[in-house]
Structure 1
Amino acid sequence: MNRFHVHLNVADLDGSIRFYTQLFAAPPSVRKDDYAKWMLEDPRINFAISNTGRAPGIDHLGLQVDSTAELSALGIRLDAAGGTVVPEDATVCCYAQSDKLWTEDPQGTRWETFHTFGDATTYYAGEAACATDGAACTPKVSAMKPKVDKGTSCCSPEAACC
């Protein structure tokens, strides 16, 4: 089953955690110094906030799936929608290990479809884990290119991915 995903950049992480904990009537399921996530069943949503230096507001929207097969099916639908689809395999971002597909809607809103298969101890990927030159870190999907230089880190703290 798919789960809707919303990721907001926030200026005040602690204040935002207090607000969303009250709104959702539940504490975050993941809490870090720069990040919090609620995995809610009603409504079925993966709601994340972070304070990583990006402008406050919506960072991206997405759909989280339970399997590689579901991610593949969503990829076919994204291709049919006509946007550029950028895959990012075995990435580490937002304290999770995931395979991802990134695109933009006609207004330029970033969409992340992903299958998470493990936890990670860091927010950002190391150089070896990045499949692109910045899929999770580049605000514009149209600017993403397949990673060629293995020495390029797509998910540096300065880039503020995810």
Structure 2
Amino acid sequence: MKRLHLHVAVEDLGQSIRFYETLFGAPPSVLKPDYAKWMLEDPRVNLAISQRGGASFGVDHVGVQTDTSEELAELSARLKAAGETTFDEAGANCCYAKSDKTWVADPSGLKWETFHTFGEITTYGEDVGPTLKAEAAASACCGAPAGEPAPARSCGCAAA
């Protein structure tokens, strides 16, 4: 089964956590000093928020999380068939998780991530993904650390 993924860059993590806890009626399933994530069943979504610096706030990227490697392969094949340039990442370390991913930017430049997570890591992660399009390439793995400019590359957040 697949789950919609949304990653939102926020200005005030504490205030945003309180908002989403109230909205969803549940605390985050993952809580770190710079990151929070809800793995909800109703609605079936993986919502991640982070306060990692950067010039803009709002939707960083969207995606689809799969339960299996086979589902990821199927979605990756669909992305490749859609005709847009894709980028595959095997064993990416990002957002406290280890995942296999395929990235694409839609025709308007919106970053899409398809991923299968298979482990946790103790750090936010250092992996740097593809430059999909100039507009989509304004952030590093879920945004740059607070106080640092975002490099001209992008990576996604697949947290376990």
- TM-score normalised by the chain length of structure 1: 0.82
Please report how far the alpha carbon of residue 81 of structure 1 lies from its aligned counterpart in structure 2 after TM superposition. 1.1
CA contact (8 A) 1:84 1:142 kept: no
Paired residues in the alignment total 142
- TM-score normalised by the chain length of structure 2: 0.83
d(CA) in 2 for partners of 1:68, 1:34: 28
1:66-105 map, 5 Å:
66-105=67-106
d(CA) in 2 for partners of 1:122, 1:99: 17
- What is the RMSD computed on CA atoms of the aligned residues? 1.8
Please report how far the alpha carbon of residue 24 of structure 1 lies from its aligned counterpart in structure 2 after TM superposition. 0.4
SS of the residue corresponding to residue 142 of structure 1 reads coil
Could you tell me which residue of structure 2 aligns to residue 124 of structure 1?
A: 125
Structure 1: which 5+ runs fail to align?
144-153
d(CA) in 1 for partners of 2:77, 2:17: 36
Structure 2: which 5+ runs fail to align?
135-139
Deviations 1:82-109 (A, max 9, x none): 1111001101101010001000111100
Could you tell me which residue of structure 1 aligns to residue 132 of structure 2?
A: 141
Q: Percent identity?
A: 56
Point out 4+ residue stretches in structure 1 off by more than 4 angstroms: 158-161
Could you tell me which residue of structure 2 aligns to residue 43 of structure 1?
A: 43
State the structure with bigger RCO (CA 8 A, min sep 6), 1 or 2. Answer: 2
CA contact (8 A) 1:10 1:56 kept: yes
